[in-house]
Amino acid sequence: MLFEVVTVDPPPQIKLRCQRTPAARDPSPKIADQGGNYLKECGRQGLLRLYELVLEDGTAISPYAWRTRLALERLRLPFVAAGVGFTEIKTIGEGQFATVPVLQDGDLFIADSWAIVKHLDGRYGGGNLLGSTRDQNMIRFFDSWCRHRLLAPLTRICVLDIFARLRPADQAYFRQSREARLGATLEEAVADRAERVVDFRRELEPLRAGLSEEPFLGGAEPTYADFIGVAALIWAGSVSTIQLLEPDDAVLAWFRRCLAFVGGMAPKLTPRSSLAVIS
């Protein structure tokens, strides 16, 4: 039961992750003890399970779930990825959730990505991922900025790309809810995206300023602020059929540095998005 995967057609790399243990990896000394403690907890309470939205082909497609995935990887916490469609969210737990991600830790179900990372960092990470309350104030500022300057414009750029790759059962719900939110049909919303993507890149200037002196917002290592931004780009880059960033953008270099640092992450980025690493 511990390793049951409830996702429909889980992609291969997620199955693999479920079988991996921290011992097989190269954990940083700081987090290793927390990982060890975690494993004891696991034996008592069951493995962590992350409920998240997936597309028809199993690709994880929520920026809020991706930030949780990055936090789990950073903390070397093995987890079961439980993919659900939009219309299956009501099947999680006892049906008390309206959004994902939802984290199941033993008998505990936690909704909301901020509550989840507070739980994970407090219980398993020694508080290093979120830092001081001052750090957390600035992360909340950054998170709100990301909603306005990453998630909102990227939605208008990529919403039709997402729709095209949803499970058929989710498409009607998605079209109706998103068109009501956007005040336009999905096709109208993306009609001027060639200009919107130029605006989007220009508005990233504060992020470039924050990255002008050190590799990550967190300094020599990424913290949750970095993950919030990177998760938004993974989300859009997983579906986008338009180039999101210029090749020489410092934001792109940071995005790739974060993925390389965290390791274990294998987001399936579209070649057209410009975010995929050319190998």
Cβ closest to its own copies, residue 79 vs residue 224: 224
**Chain position carrying tokens 């068109």:** 179
Q: Which is nearer to its own copies, 222 or 267 (CB)?
A: 222
* Residue among 10 and 218 whose Cβ is closer to its own copies: 218
**Smallest distance, Å, CB 217 to its own copies?**
5
CB of 28 vs its own copies, minimal distance in Å: 16
For the CB of residue 211, give the shortest distance to its own copies in the complex, in Å: 7
By beta-carbon proximity to its own copies, the closer residue of 60 and 225 is 225
Tell me the closest approach of the beta carbon of residue 221 to its own copies, in angstroms.
9
- Give the closest residue to 129 by CA, choosing from 28, 40, 60: 28
List the strands of the sheet with 48-53, edge to edge.
79-84, 48-53, 102-105, 108-111
What is the three-class DSSP state of 157? Answer: helix
For its own copies, the binding residues (CB under 8 A) are: 131-138, 140-145, 148, 203, 205-214, 216-219, 223, 225
* Residue 11 CB partners (closer than 8 Å, separation 6+): 57, 58, 59, 268
We find the least distance from the C-beta atom of residue 212 to its own copies, in angstroms, to be 6
Q: Which is nearer to its own copies, 84 or 207 (CB)?
A: 207
116 contacts 110 by C-beta, under 8 angstroms: yes
Residue 167 · residue 255 · CB < 8 Å: no
Distance CA 86, CA 186 (A): 17
Question: Residue 214, CB half-sphere, CA atoms under 13 Å: how many?
Answer: 10
